[in-house]
Amino acid sequence: MLGDVRLRGQTGVPAERRGSYPFIDFRPLNNTTHSGEIGTKKKVKRLLSFQRYFHASRLLRGIVPQAPLHLLDEDYLGQARHMLSKVGMWDFDIFLFDRLTNGNSLVTLLCHLFSTHGLIHHFKLDMVTLHRFLVMVQEDYHSQNPYHNAVHAADVTQAMHCYLKEPKLASFLTPLDIMLGLLAAAAHDVDHPGVNQPFLIKTNHHLANLYQNMSVLENHHWRSTIGMLRESRLLAHLPKEMTQDIEQQLGSLILATDINRQNEFLARLRTHLHNKDLRLEDGRDRHFMLQIALKCADICNPCRVWEMSKQWSERVCEEFYRQGDLEQKFELEISPLCNQQKDSIPSIQIGFMTYIVEPLFREWARFTGNSTLSENMLSHLAHNKAQWKSLLPKPHRGGSGGGGGPDLAGQGAEKEEQTGTRGDTP
C-alpha cells in the first residue's frame, strides 16, 4: 500500500518518502453505517499529499519546473534584497517579500539566513544541494491552504531568526543550535493537509493510525523532513552520529509545536524561571529554549503589527471554516471553531490570544528580561486584542474573552497551533 511506505535509514528513525501520500479522497466519507460509524463498507484511502504524488522527486530526476524559480525583474530583485537587509526587524512584511520573490519566500529567506549565520561554511554545505532541499520543502507545502502554506513557514522562520538574536539566548547558541532552529521553523508544518488532528482521527485517516492518534501531524511533518534530508543528501557528508543527532533534535523541536502540549511546556518554563535554574551552557537547557522559541514563532501572529496580524487571522479562520464545510458536507460533527455561522473571527482570536498566546509570551518576556522585542510584541498583542474586541458582534462585547472562555483555548488548541491566529498562527 502506497501510504504505508516509509524509509528506515542508518539512524533507525523512520522517514516518510516523498510521493507516498497521494491526494486525500473525501468522497467515501458519505458511506456511513446506521450506527454512525464511518466507512465500514468502504475503507477510505485518505492519504496525504497530492503535492508529493504529482511532484515527487522531479527536481532530483532533472525535470525542470514549469515556472522558473527566480525569473524576476531586476527591480523586484532589488527590493527583495533590500528587504533581506532588514530581515531581523519585527515589522518584516512576509506577504510583500513573497510577492517580490515570485512565491519563493521560504527558499530565498533560508538561503540568505544560512549564509548570514555562516552555516554553509561551518557545515561545509553544498549550495546547490541546499537549494534543492529547500525547494523540496517549499513544494511540499500546499499553496491552496489559506494558512498552512509556505508563506506561513517563511513567517515562522523569520520570527525564529529574530528570537535567535535575543541577547539572553544568542551568546550561548552554537552553529548547530542555529541550524536546527531554522530548519525546524522552515519544515514544522510541511505537507499540512489543511485539516486538524481530530479530523484525521474521526475519519480514520491513515496517518492517525500510523501515529496512534498522538501528535499525528507533527510526527508527519518531522518524518517528512527527515525523508527530504536523506533524499537530498544535504547532510550526507557529515558523520553518522551527527546526522542521527540532527534528526532526533529536529523531531524534538517539531513535536514541541503540538498545541496539545502547550500547558506542559508552559509549566516547565515557569518552573525554570521561578527557580532561576536555566543554564544555557548546558545543551539540554538550550534545546528546551529552542523549543520554546519555536512555539512562540509558531503562534506569534497576534504579536505582529495589526495589518499583518489581521491577514493571518482571516487566513487561519478561513481554513477552519473550510474544514467545517467539509464536515457538514459529509455529515460529520463540526469541529470547534470551524462553524462559520457560530464562530466569528473576533471571538476565535480573542480566545486564542487570552488563553494561549498571552501566557506564553509573558513568560518569554520574563526569560528575555523584557527585551525591546518582547515589549514590542506584547504591545502589538494588546493593541490587536483591543481591535478584535471592537469588532465583536454587539451582544458579545460585554463578555470576557469575547465569547472565548477556557473551553475555547482547549478547542483552539486542538485546531492545531493556531486556534485563531497561527492557530497555526494568525
What are the helix (H) ranges across 72-164? Answer: 74-84, 94-100, 105-116, 119-122, 127-139, 150-164
Distance, CA of 42 to CA of 31 (rounded, Å): 7
Residue 335 gets which letter from DSSP?
A: P
380 annotated as belonging to a binding site for a ligand: no
Distance, CA of 70 to CA of 101 (rounded, Å): 7
144 annotated as belonging to a binding site for a ligand: no
149 annotated as belonging to a binding site for a ligand: yes
The one-letter amino acid code at 37 reads E
Q: In the structure grid, which three cell numbers stand for residue 215, read together? A: 501528535
Q: With beta carbons less than 8 A apart as the criterion, state whether 216 and 185 touch.
A: no
Q: In the structure grid, which three cell numbers stand for residue 233, read together? A: 543528501
* Closest-CA residue to 394 (of 355, 350, 347): 347
Distance, CA of 14 to CA of 204 (rounded, Å): 21
Distance, CA of 281 to CA of 258 (rounded, Å): 27
Q: In the structure grid, which three cell numbers stand for residue 267, read together? A: 509549566
User: Which secondary-structure segment (H or E) carries 14?
Assistant: strand 14-16
150 annotated as belonging to a binding site for a ligand: yes
b/e 233-253 (16+ beta carbons within 10 angstroms → b): ebbeeeeeeebbebbebbbbb
Distance, CA of 72 to CA of 69 (rounded, Å): 8
Rounding to the nearest 10 degrees, give the CA dihedral for residues 216, 217, 221, 222.
-30
Catalytic residue among 117, 131, 142, 148: 148
DSSP, collapsed to helix, strand or coil, labels residue 232 as: helix
Length of the chain: 426
148 annotated as belonging to a binding site for a ligand: yes
386 annotated as belonging to a binding site for a ligand: no
* Catalytic residue flag (residue 34): no
How are the residues of the chain apportioned to helix, strand and coil, as percentages rounded to the nearest 5? 60, 5, 35
Sign, CA dihedral 145-146-148-150, equals positive
Distance, CA of 93 to CA of 324 (rounded, Å): 30
Residue 192 gets which letter from DSSP?
A: -
151 annotated as belonging to a binding site for a ligand: yes
DSSP, collapsed to helix, strand or coil, labels residue 242 as: helix
Which residues define the annotated binding site for Zn(2+)?
152, 188-189, 298
Which residues define the annotated binding site for AMP?
148-152, 189, 298, 349
Which of the residues are catalytic? 148
Which residues define the annotated binding site?
148-152, 188-189, 298, 349
